[in-house]
Amino acid sequence: MSSDSERTTVRTYIPAYQKEQWQAHAEELDMSQSEFVRTMVQAGRSGFEPVASETTESDAAESESEEPRSPDATPGGDGLEDRVREILADGDYYEWDDLLAELTDDIEERLEETLQELQSNNEVQYSGRHGGYVRDE
């Protein structure tokens, strides 16, 4: 059962320079990074109105319970298609392993940063004795 004050995690991936800009702006406003992102998303959402279109009775009933959606370059996608197009735009041929490497080149760095952040927030801990990470409940 969820309540209005229950919190959950939302994850997104952005370029490193953008994260640095957001962190700097959050510091200027004396806000945590989470508070800054949450505030900016809520402020930005006010500019998105649902697009008028023909709706069926079931669509209308369903939309009453949903919040307006923002436009998405790849609706229902995770941006992978756009990233593959971007990589292949140079006209070169990529073998599977090379393409995979292009797509995952920064995953280790992102994982390390994420684990460091989660550890600093006391959400995750590393145990050398157990040889891995675990949620810190």
In the chain, what are the domain boundaries? 14-45, 92-136
Contacts of 17 (CB under 8 A, 6+ apart): none
- Check whether 53 has a pLDDT greater than 80: no
Residue 89: the pLDDT is: 92
The rounded mean pLDDT for the chain is 75
- Candidate ranges 2-6, 68-72, 100-104; pick with highest mean pLDDT: 100-104
Q: Round to whole Å and give the CA distance between 133 and 115.
A: 9
Mean pLDDT of 29-49: 75
Determine the Cα–Cα distance for residues 102 and 89; give it in Å rounded to an integer.
13
- Alpha-carbon distance of 20 to 61, in angstroms, equals 42
Give the whole-number percent of the chain exceeding pLDDT 70. 72
Average pLDDT over residues 110-135: 89
Which of 42, 16, 17, 47 is closest to 31 using CA atoms?
42
